[in-house]
Amino acid sequence: MFSFGAITVVLLLYLSELGFSDKMIGVALTAILAGDLGITLGLTTHADQFGRRKTLAVGAFLKVVAGLAFALSKQYYITVIAGILGVITPTGNDIGPFIAIEQAALSDIMPGVLRGDIAKVFGWYQFCGATAQAAG
């Protein structure tokens, strides 16, 4: 979870180190954020039809491919496309499709006894995630 907090700084430094201008970096971050919105909308609205587990697996695969593209390419357009397809959010928060799909899956797998306490379960889920993010 630490990666979500550090991604904005690391991404800015990485793109700058590649030699991209401030304007190019701004356009890249804007395109990545807009692309994330589209990918998130597409994945979350079709996760139940496609299957939540498969959707999360596709998302994980896209993140791996994006990571490889960032590591192996120094081309501006390839890094921007990798950032979009890999849902590399430049905001420093977990705003992608994965948290929504995880929360939907969590509510489905909860035993009937806990369903009355769903607010407590989600509270602990968010608390553990935020604590891990803060602790790195």
pLDDT digits (tens, 9 = 90+) for 21-33: 999 999 998 998 8
74-113 residues labelled b (16+ CB within 10 A) or e (exposed): eebeebbbbbbbbbbbbeeebbbbbbbbeeeeeeeeeeee
Q: What is the pLDDT of residue 19?
A: 92
- 64-75 pLDDT tens trace: 999 899 899 999
48, amino acid identity? D
Give the residue among 88, 92, 72, 79 at the shortest CA–CA distance from 133.
92
